[in-house]
Amino acid sequence: MADRQLKQFGHEFVSWIKAFPRNTPRYITERLPIIKWLPKYNPQWAFRDAVAGVTVALIVVPQGMSYAKIAGLEVQHGLYSAYIGAIFYCFMGTSKDLTIGPTAVISLITGELVTELAGRMSAPAVAAISCLCVGAFTMALGILRLGIILDFFPTTVLVGYTSGAAATIVIQQIPKWLGVPNINNREPVYHIIIKMFKAIATLSWLDLTFGIVSFIALIAIGLAVDRWGRGRFAIQFIKISRFFIVTVLATVLSFVVNHNPELNAKGDPIYKLSILKKVPSGLPHPQVPSVTSEIFSEIAPKLFAISLAVILEHIAIGKAFARKNRYQIDTNQELLALGLANVTASFFGAYAVTGSFSRSAVKFQCGVRSPFAGFVTGALVLLALFFLTPVFFYIPDAALSAVIMVAVSVLISPPSVFIQFYKVNLWDFLSSQVALWVTIFVSVETGIAAGVGFSLLVLLFRVARPNFHVLRQIKDRPDVFIDATLDNTFETVSAPHGVLVFRIEESTTFPNSEVFKTWVLDETYKYTRFGGHIKETSEKLWSDDMAVHVRNLRKIAHGPDSNVTDDDLPKLRAVVFDFSAVNSIDSTGLQGLFDLRDLLKDYAGVTDEPLTFFEVHFVGIQSSVLHVLEMSGITRPVAPIALQKVEVLDNGTDSSDEIISESADKKKSHNNNNNNVDVHNHTNIGSAAVSVLGGSPFLKEEGLVHLTVRDAVDSVLIRSQSWEKDHGPVGGKESDSGSIDKTDIHYV
């Protein structure tokens, strides 16, 4: 499967290169979706887009400044990121709801990087180089269409590390929210908590008042609107704009408190309340980010973590809103747009941007109709940078901390989400917990790596130790075979004597080849007896403990008090492999099948008695796997054979030799008439279809291929009947001299 997809990708890439000159206009149109939707823009959409754009701007201005503080940057850098992301996405995005800009999680990881390089690089320089590297990596994924790597990051890990990062941000903001001075919020969370309690006596009551009042106001507005404003947009708008409203009110009160500050001995003002102070207006001069190779190699893991967080957050949010609104987003185009936005932003004082869930949700609630709303948002942020920065001077730090805490609290998943993970799958729950707690107590990038690493280990374990099943037929539905240990709803009976049916629930590859072989042999030992020459004690090797191993296996299968001996079990005459769940097979898995076939032949007695009847049958093989098996020689190219053979043999008018010979003649004639016919296709005959390999009537080396388990079992019974006529009894019980009951055969 993977080989075919790789070849297809290579063919498409070569075709794209050859056709690039004449497809350049179309390529530009695809890369700039605004060229498609702008000519079709409906003027009636303008009002909704304007409302959405203005509303998001009212949110992103206070949020952008707050998140910049989390990143260890001055507040204006958050606004630089906000306007560039919003405007860029208007031109290149494929979602009407998504808005990109600074977010809490990315700000936290950027802040960790800024702290790590403090003293060696300035904070804006660190932010710029991280933004550039994240953008370049994301662009590369989009251009090369490698969005498939996102499939290796499960939702549980995303939920875990997002909740952990949000919880970390909340804890980091508590000291400023309470007005406790001189606390380094870049330290591990447990250090922050310990130091905060030690310094609690030094808190500023005025900061505490502003922080608590702002926090209560934000929560109260949200709860009140949820209770009394459902279905009324005018009231909902109050909740949507609450961050802006509370920030404005807190700034006005802060101005009143700090308007005429006292001066210290140096002549510097002493403000009663901790505030932002001076915020530069306008835009910075473009600068090219630069970093030494030594520092780059040091921070590469964290840059990779930021890139993953940016991509995962953006794509997850985009898909969520596309699913809710029933439209599609182009993942590769989203990666390209996100990457180009970050690369451009790195030259203008911004830090890494990605999709914002809260602001995207606001756009959706406002009834946004097109990406044009992002342009409105970006334009308003630019106006704020040029004309409102003097007002930002008096914004209280405690109020900004309250805004941050309330804004990121929605990212913390409630316990019910993790309980649901536990109910669905224990490993999913554990991966979410690993990502959650490692993020809180170590760092975000370590939490992502730990969660993803744990999930990949679980995935590898599932591949290496897949589920295996011994199938039994339902008593009232002999055409249906199930694993009775997993489903007790139906009464089942075992397959005919000496016939074992196995199913593997995974591709046969090098991690599971050996365990599959061992499991099949152990199950064979449990339910059948050895058909070859039993060695004398003097003939056995010194390390031969097979008798003890088989005895222990039979006690497990038949009960510890059972005295099952070889005389109580049938000889092995056929093994049926249900490969319907096998999507691929590699060289190790193929060699394992050869080894397993030889070991089963030895156990059936073929090595000691060459005329012993034993066959291997395959069921439900997918075309890609069948092709590999045929090339290897473990099967032969399939040819159709009619199920009417059952009735023919029952009447004694034909033999298996004649049937298969007739099938081979028909196949040859059919191929002569049409050389282009695919011999791998199965032919439907009546209500079922069977494909049997051409060649000798009793194949010692090649297996037989069927569409259903019932067909395979019927084939074994038919062929063993014919063998019995020609060579005597096959591997039945001793008590019935090896005869086969014809009632075992299922007539179609």
Can you give the length of the chain in residues?
A: 748
pLDDT at 643: 35
pLDDT at 229: 75
Q: Which residues contact 124 (CB under 8 A, 6 or more apart)?
A: 73, 74, 77, 349
- What does the DSSP 8-state code read for residue 615? E
**For 110-137, what is the mean pLDDT?**
92
pLDDT at 215 over 90: yes
pLDDT at 6: 66
**Whole-number Å distance between alpha carbons of 532 and 535:** 9
Share of the chain above pLDDT 90, in %: 36
pLDDT at 410: 84
Residue 60: exposure state from Cβ atoms within 10 A (0-12, 13-18, ≥19): buried
pLDDT at 350 over 80: yes
pLDDT at 123 over 60: yes
pLDDT at 428: 92
**Whole-number Å distance between alpha carbons of 411 and 357:** 9
| Secondary structure of 281-292 as H, E, C letters | CCCCCCCCCCCC
pLDDT at 703: 67
pTM of the entire structure?
0.74
Among 235-249, 420-434, 480-494, 702-716, the range scoring the smallest mean pLDDT is 480-494
| Beta bridge partners of residue 470, listed in sequence order | 502
**Whole-number Å distance between alpha carbons of 284 and 297:** 28
pLDDT at 494 over 60: yes
pLDDT in tens, 374-389: 999 999 999 999 998 9
pLDDT grade for 670, boundaries at 50, 70 and 90: very low
pLDDT at 485 over 90: no
Average pLDDT, the chain: 82
**Whole-number Å distance between alpha carbons of 436 and 344:** 32
pLDDT at 566 over 50: yes
Type of residue at 646: V
pLDDT in tens, 521-549: 999 999 999 988 777 777 777 777 888 88
**Whole-number Å distance between alpha carbons of 63 and 169:** 13
pLDDT at 502: 95
Among 13-27, 481-495, 723-737, the range scoring the smallest mean pLDDT is 723-737
**For 289-304, what is the mean pLDDT?**
87
Nearest to 181 by CA among 169, 191, 195: 195
pLDDT in tens, 79-97: 999 999 999 899 998 899 9
**Cα separations in angstroms, 370 against 40, 76, 340, 459, 585:** 11, 28, 20, 40, 47
Among 104-113, 285-294, 326-335, 678-687, the range scoring the smallest mean pLDDT is 678-687
**SS3 (DSSP) at 594:** helix
Q: What is the DSSP string of 22-50?
A: HHHHHHHHHH-THHHHSTT--GGGHHHHH
The structure tokens 């295996």 sit at: 468
**For 148-154, what is the mean pLDDT?**
79
**Whole-number Å distance between alpha carbons of 668 and 651:** 27
Q: Kindly state the tokens that stand for 123.
A: 């904070």
pLDDT at 693 over 80: no
**Whole-number Å distance between alpha carbons of 274 and 268:** 14
**Whole-number Å distance between alpha carbons of 370 and 46:** 9
Helices 46-70 and 233-240 cross at an angle (nearest 10°) of: 20
pLDDT in tens, 7-20: 676 777 777 677 66
pLDDT grade for 730, boundaries at 50, 70 and 90: low
pLDDT at 702: 58
pLDDT at 273: 87
pLDDT at 346: 94
pLDDT at 266 over 80: no
pLDDT in tens, 328-345: 888 888 999 999 999 999
pLDDT at 573 over 70: yes
**What does residue 166 show for φ and ψ, rounded to 5 degrees?**
-65, -40
pLDDT at 698 over 70: no
pLDDT at 5: 63
24 or 408: which leads in pLDDT: 408
Q: Kindly state the tokens that stand for 617.
A: 């049958």
pLDDT grade for 216, boundaries at 50, 70 and 90: very high
Nearest to 174 by CA among 161, 158, 190, 159: 190
pLDDT in tens, 631-664: 888 886 654 443 333 333 333 444 444 433 444 4
pLDDT grade for 744, boundaries at 50, 70 and 90: very low
Neighbours of 11 (CB within 10 A): 10
pLDDT at 447 over 60: yes
**Whole-number Å distance between alpha carbons of 454 and 439:** 14
CA diameter of the chain? 118
Among 320-334, 448-462, 616-630, 666-680, the range scoring the smallest mean pLDDT is 666-680
Are 383 and 105 a contacting pair, CB within 8 Å? Answer: no
Nearest to 66 by CA among 152, 176, 163, 156: 176
**What does residue 478 show for φ and ψ, rounded to 5 degrees?**
-65, -10
pLDDT at 2: 53
pLDDT at 449: 87
**For 590-616, what is the mean pLDDT?**
90
pLDDT at 644: 35
**Cα separations in angstroms, 566 against 104, 330, 554, 733:** 69, 63, 10, 10
**For 619-630, what is the mean pLDDT?**
89
300 or 648: which leads in pLDDT: 300
Share of the chain above pLDDT 70, in %: 86
**Whole-number Å distance between alpha carbons of 329 and 331:** 6
**Whole-number Å distance between alpha carbons of 183 and 193:** 10
